[in-house]
Amino acid sequence: MKTRADLFAFFDAHGVAHSTLDHPPVFRVEEGLEIKAAMPGGHTKNLFLKDARGQLWLISALGETVIDLKRLHHVIGSGRLSFGPEALMVETLGVRPGSVTAFGLINDTEHRVRFVLDAALAKADPVNFHPLGNDATTAVSQAGLRAFLAALGVEPMIVDFEAMVVAS
């Protein structure tokens, strides 16, 4: 599994500018208001899910976005969704609960996880995610996030959670 240093080296190798703020561990979106105040841009919540068919999903959204998991499977074309088991999270993304992040896709070398990006987050610039651990927050530009995903071969499904439709 890749480490924080590996992630930053990957960013550097792909020309993705990044800045990181170290802080005490944050486990929920509601925590760390002082961190959010210190770092501009979109702050995220990230959900690791598994559907009834066994497909794994990662949803990255703005922290304030409301996600209706009971209806979402109709929108994204999945089976019914539930939270994925920790063992699968560690195996595929290399992170533990409380540290789920889009940057964990660097560890999903077999592309087992489908990535859903909140349409509102897709407009935020910069975007802030944990760098594989919840004791820091890393900011990248929206273009940097897209370059990161492209370098991994990940095409996000963009969902407008307010309208509950796939935006692209």
pLDDT at 151 over 70: yes
Q: Both tokens of residue 161?
A: 């959670």
Residues 70-89, mean pLDDT to the nearest whole number = 97
Express as a percent the part of the chain with pLDDT over 70: 95
Express as a percent the part of the chain with pLDDT over 90: 89
pLDDT at 130 over 90: yes
Q: Output the DSSP codes for the chain.
A: ---HHHHHHHHHHTT---EEEE-S---STTS-HHHHHHS-SEEEEEEEEEETTS-EEEEEEETT----HHHHHHHHT-S-EEEPPHHHHHHHHS--TT---GGGGGG-TT--EEEEEETTGGG-SSEEE-SSSTTEEEEE-HHHHHHHHHHHT--PEEEETTTTEE--
Distance CA 73, CA 31 (A): 28
**pLDDT, greater one: 35 or 137:** 137
120-142 burial, b at 16+ Cβ within 10 Å, e below that, comes to bbbebebbbbbbbbbebbbbbbb
Longest CA–CA separation in the chain, Å:
41
Which pTM was predicted?
A: 0.94
Q: For residue range 99-109, list pLDDT tens digits in order.
A: 999 999 999 99
pLDDT value of residue 31: 65
The one-letter amino acid at 79: G
Q: For residue range 29-46, list pLDDT tens digits in order.
A: 666 667 777 789 999 999
pLDDT at 111 over 80: yes
Please state, as a whole number, how many other Cβ atoms lie within 10 Å of the Cβ of residue 58: 25
Question: Please, which pLDDT band fits residue 91 given cuts at 50, 70 and 90?
Answer: very high
